[in-house]
Amino acid sequence: MHTSRNILIAATALVVLAVGLVGVNAQGVLSGEPTVVAVVDLGNLYDSLREKQQIDTELGTIRTRVTQESEDQQKDIAQKKQDLDMLVPGTPPYADAQEAYERAALDYQVWAQYEQNKLSREASIRIKKLQENLEKAIATVAENQNVGLVLYQQQSLRLGTNAQGRQQTANIEIVAWASDTVDITDLVAQQMNNDFENSR
Protein backbone atom coordinates (compact mmCIF):
# COMPACT_ATOMS: atom_id res chain seq x y z
CA MET A 1 0.00 0.00 0.00
CA HIS A 2 2.80 2.34 0.99
CA THR A 3 4.74 1.38 -2.16
CA SER A 4 1.76 2.09 -4.41
CA ARG A 5 1.44 5.53 -2.87
CA ASN A 6 5.12 6.29 -3.55
CA ILE A 7 4.74 5.19 -7.18
CA LEU A 8 1.68 7.43 -7.59
CA ILE A 9 3.54 10.41 -6.13
CA ALA A 10 6.53 9.80 -8.44
CA ALA A 11 4.29 9.50 -11.50
CA THR A 12 2.48 12.71 -10.57
CA ALA A 13 5.80 14.51 -10.20
CA LEU A 14 6.89 13.35 -13.66
CA VAL A 15 3.64 14.60 -15.21
CA VAL A 16 4.05 17.99 -13.51
CA LEU A 17 7.65 18.18 -14.71
CA ALA A 18 6.67 17.34 -18.30
CA VAL A 19 3.90 19.95 -18.31
CA GLY A 20 6.34 22.46 -16.87
CA LEU A 21 8.86 21.78 -19.64
CA VAL A 22 6.17 22.27 -22.29
CA GLY A 23 5.25 25.53 -20.62
CA VAL A 24 8.88 26.67 -20.66
CA ASN A 25 9.17 25.77 -24.33
CA ALA A 26 5.98 27.66 -25.14
CA GLN A 27 7.18 30.70 -23.25
CA GLY A 28 10.52 30.53 -25.05
CA VAL A 29 8.77 30.60 -28.41
CA LEU A 30 5.93 32.99 -27.70
CA SER A 31 7.16 35.37 -25.02
CA GLY A 32 10.88 35.57 -25.75
CA GLU A 33 12.59 38.29 -27.71
CA PRO A 34 10.74 39.41 -30.86
CA THR A 35 11.56 37.28 -33.87
CA VAL A 36 13.67 39.10 -36.45
CA VAL A 37 12.16 38.68 -39.91
CA ALA A 38 14.13 39.30 -43.12
CA VAL A 39 13.30 39.10 -46.81
CA VAL A 40 15.20 38.06 -49.92
CA ASP A 41 14.47 39.68 -53.28
CA LEU A 42 15.28 36.83 -55.65
CA GLY A 43 15.02 38.98 -58.77
CA ASN A 44 17.72 41.37 -57.60
CA LEU A 45 19.70 38.60 -55.92
CA TYR A 46 19.92 36.39 -59.01
CA ASP A 47 20.94 39.35 -61.16
CA SER A 48 23.99 39.83 -58.93
CA LEU A 49 25.05 36.19 -58.63
CA ARG A 50 28.15 35.22 -60.60
CA GLU A 51 27.05 31.58 -60.52
CA LYS A 52 23.73 32.50 -62.18
CA GLN A 53 25.55 34.64 -64.76
CA GLN A 54 27.82 31.71 -65.59
CA ILE A 55 24.81 29.39 -65.95
CA ASP A 56 23.10 31.86 -68.29
CA THR A 57 26.26 32.23 -70.38
CA GLU A 58 26.89 28.50 -70.70
CA LEU A 59 23.26 27.66 -71.47
CA GLY A 60 23.17 30.54 -73.94
CA THR A 61 26.18 29.10 -75.74
CA ILE A 62 24.47 25.71 -75.95
CA ARG A 63 21.26 27.30 -77.28
CA THR A 64 23.22 29.21 -79.92
CA ARG A 65 24.94 26.01 -81.09
CA VAL A 66 21.65 24.09 -81.22
CA THR A 67 19.94 26.93 -83.10
CA GLN A 68 22.73 27.08 -85.69
CA GLU A 69 22.72 23.31 -86.19
CA SER A 70 18.93 23.39 -86.50
CA GLU A 71 19.06 26.05 -89.19
CA ASP A 72 21.72 24.12 -91.12
CA GLN A 73 19.68 20.93 -91.03
CA GLN A 74 16.51 22.73 -92.09
CA LYS A 75 18.35 24.26 -95.06
CA ASP A 76 19.59 20.81 -96.05
CA ILE A 77 16.05 19.42 -95.82
CA ALA A 78 14.70 22.30 -97.90
CA GLN A 79 17.37 21.64 -100.55
CA LYS A 80 16.48 17.95 -100.65
CA LYS A 81 12.81 18.90 -101.13
CA GLN A 82 13.76 21.18 -104.04
CA ASP A 83 15.80 18.37 -105.62
CA LEU A 84 12.84 16.02 -105.22
CA ASP A 85 10.40 18.46 -106.83
CA MET A 86 12.61 18.71 -109.94
CA LEU A 87 12.45 14.97 -110.63
CA VAL A 88 9.77 12.93 -112.33
CA PRO A 89 7.63 10.92 -109.89
CA GLY A 90 7.79 7.18 -110.34
CA THR A 91 11.36 7.14 -111.61
CA PRO A 92 14.31 5.57 -109.73
CA PRO A 93 16.03 8.95 -109.20
CA TYR A 94 12.79 10.32 -107.73
CA ALA A 95 12.50 7.35 -105.35
CA ASP A 96 16.10 7.82 -104.19
CA ALA A 97 15.59 11.55 -103.67
CA GLN A 98 12.32 10.98 -101.82
CA GLU A 99 13.99 8.51 -99.47
CA ALA A 100 16.85 10.94 -98.79
CA TYR A 101 14.37 13.78 -98.10
CA GLU A 102 12.14 11.75 -95.77
CA ARG A 103 15.13 10.30 -93.92
CA ALA A 104 16.63 13.77 -93.38
CA ALA A 105 13.28 15.15 -92.15
CA LEU A 106 12.82 12.25 -89.72
CA ASP A 107 16.40 12.45 -88.46
CA TYR A 108 15.92 16.17 -87.83
CA GLN A 109 12.78 15.61 -85.76
CA VAL A 110 14.52 13.01 -83.59
CA TRP A 111 17.62 15.19 -83.21
CA ALA A 112 15.60 18.30 -82.32
CA GLN A 113 13.62 16.43 -79.64
CA TYR A 114 16.79 14.95 -78.20
CA GLU A 115 18.54 18.35 -78.02
CA GLN A 116 15.48 19.95 -76.43
CA ASN A 117 15.31 17.29 -73.71
CA LYS A 118 19.06 17.47 -73.16
CA LEU A 119 19.01 21.26 -72.77
CA SER A 120 16.02 21.18 -70.41
CA ARG A 121 17.72 18.50 -68.30
CA GLU A 122 20.98 20.47 -68.16
CA ALA A 123 19.18 23.67 -67.18
CA SER A 124 17.19 21.86 -64.48
CA ILE A 125 20.35 20.33 -62.95
CA ARG A 126 22.17 23.67 -62.83
CA ILE A 127 19.20 25.61 -61.44
CA LYS A 128 18.64 22.95 -58.76
CA LYS A 129 22.29 23.24 -57.68
CA LEU A 130 21.99 27.04 -57.62
CA GLN A 131 18.88 26.77 -55.43
CA GLU A 132 20.67 24.46 -53.01
CA ASN A 133 23.56 26.93 -52.74
CA LEU A 134 21.08 29.77 -52.22
CA GLU A 135 19.29 28.00 -49.38
CA LYS A 136 22.62 27.22 -47.71
CA ALA A 137 23.74 30.86 -47.99
CA ILE A 138 20.42 32.13 -46.59
CA ALA A 139 20.69 29.82 -43.57
CA THR A 140 24.29 30.92 -42.92
CA VAL A 141 23.52 34.64 -43.16
CA ALA A 142 20.33 34.31 -41.09
CA GLU A 143 22.13 32.51 -38.27
CA ASN A 144 25.03 34.98 -38.33
CA GLN A 145 22.61 37.94 -38.22
CA ASN A 146 20.34 36.37 -35.55
CA VAL A 147 17.41 36.33 -37.97
CA GLY A 148 14.60 33.95 -37.02
CA LEU A 149 12.60 33.91 -40.24
CA VAL A 150 13.50 34.65 -43.87
CA LEU A 151 10.81 35.18 -46.51
CA TYR A 152 11.01 35.43 -50.27
CA GLN A 153 9.48 38.57 -51.77
CA GLN A 154 8.35 36.67 -54.89
CA GLN A 155 6.27 33.54 -55.37
CA SER A 156 7.73 32.88 -58.82
CA LEU A 157 10.98 33.63 -60.56
CA ARG A 158 11.82 33.98 -64.25
CA LEU A 159 14.72 31.78 -65.28
CA GLY A 160 15.09 32.86 -68.90
CA THR A 161 13.89 31.03 -72.01
CA ASN A 162 14.12 27.45 -73.18
CA ALA A 163 15.22 26.15 -76.58
CA GLN A 164 11.87 27.16 -78.10
CA GLY A 165 12.08 30.68 -76.71
CA ARG A 166 9.40 30.06 -74.09
CA GLN A 167 9.72 31.74 -70.71
CA GLN A 168 10.78 29.40 -67.90
CA THR A 169 9.69 30.09 -64.34
CA ALA A 170 10.17 28.43 -60.98
CA ASN A 171 7.62 28.42 -58.17
CA ILE A 172 9.09 29.74 -54.94
CA GLU A 173 8.02 28.80 -51.42
CA ILE A 174 7.09 31.81 -49.27
CA VAL A 175 9.40 30.78 -46.41
CA ALA A 176 13.07 30.66 -47.37
CA TRP A 177 14.39 29.67 -43.93
CA ALA A 178 13.11 29.50 -40.35
CA SER A 179 14.86 28.82 -37.06
CA ASP A 180 13.53 26.21 -34.64
CA THR A 181 12.48 28.95 -32.21
CA VAL A 182 9.70 30.17 -34.51
CA ASP A 183 8.25 26.69 -35.15
CA ILE A 184 5.03 26.39 -33.13
CA THR A 185 3.85 23.16 -34.78
CA ASP A 186 3.95 21.14 -31.53
CA LEU A 187 2.13 23.88 -29.62
CA VAL A 188 -0.61 24.05 -32.25
CA ALA A 189 -0.98 20.26 -32.17
CA GLN A 190 -1.21 20.33 -28.36
CA GLN A 191 -3.83 23.09 -28.47
CA MET A 192 -5.93 21.25 -31.06
CA ASN A 193 -5.74 18.01 -29.07
CA ASN A 194 -6.78 19.84 -25.92
CA ASP A 195 -9.69 21.50 -27.73
CA PHE A 196 -10.72 18.14 -29.16
CA GLU A 197 -10.67 16.43 -25.77
CA ASN A 198 -12.58 19.29 -24.13
CA SER A 199 -15.30 19.15 -26.79
CA ARG A 200 -16.05 15.45 -26.21
Same domain, 4 and 68: no
| Sheet containing 149-152: order of strands | 37-40, 149-152, 175-178
* CB-based contacts of 153, cutoff 8 Å, min separation 6: 39, 40, 41, 42, 43
Same domain, 43 and 56: yes
Whether residue 73 is predicted with pLDDT greater than 70 in this model: the reply is yes
Same domain, 93 and 137: yes
Q: What does DSSP assign to residue 89?
A: T
Same domain, 61 and 147: yes
Asked if residues 130 and 55 have their Cβ atoms less than 8 Å apart, the reply is yes
Same domain, 81 and 21: no
pLDDT in tens, 90-105: 999 999 999 999 999 9
Which residue range is the domain that position 78 belongs to?
A: 33-199
Ramachandran class of 90: left when φ > 0, alpha when ψ lies in -120 to 50, beta otherwise: left
pTM over 0.85: no
Whether residue 80 is predicted with pLDDT greater than 80 in this model: the reply is yes
Average pLDDT over the chain, rounded to an integer: 78
Same domain, 2 and 49: no
Same domain, 130 and 158: yes
pLDDT value of position 67: 95
* CB-based contacts of 166, cutoff 8 Å, min separation 6: none
pLDDT value of position 8: 34
Q: What distance lies between CA 79 and its chain's CA centroid?
A: 44
Measured at the CA of 190, the angle between CA 6 and CA 147, to 5 degrees, comes to 115
Number of domains in the chain: 2
**Higher per-residue confidence, 114 vs 29:** 114
Same domain, 151 and 108: yes
Label residue 24 by pLDDT band (50, 70, 90): very low
Determine the angle formed by the axes of helices 92-144 and 50-85, rounding to 10 degrees.
170
pLDDT in tens, 136-175: 898 899 888 888 889 887 666 666 666 566 666 666 678 7
Residue at 166: amino acid letter: R
pLDDT in tens, 119-136: 999 998 998 888 888 888
Whether residue 110 is predicted with pLDDT greater than 70 in this model: the reply is yes
Same domain, 139 and 115: yes
Same domain, 182 and 96: yes
Q: Give percent of the chain above pLDDT 70.
A: 72
Label residue 107 by pLDDT band (50, 70, 90): very high
Same domain, 138 and 183: yes
pLDDT value of position 5: 42
Residue at 3: amino acid letter: T
Same domain, 96 and 3: no
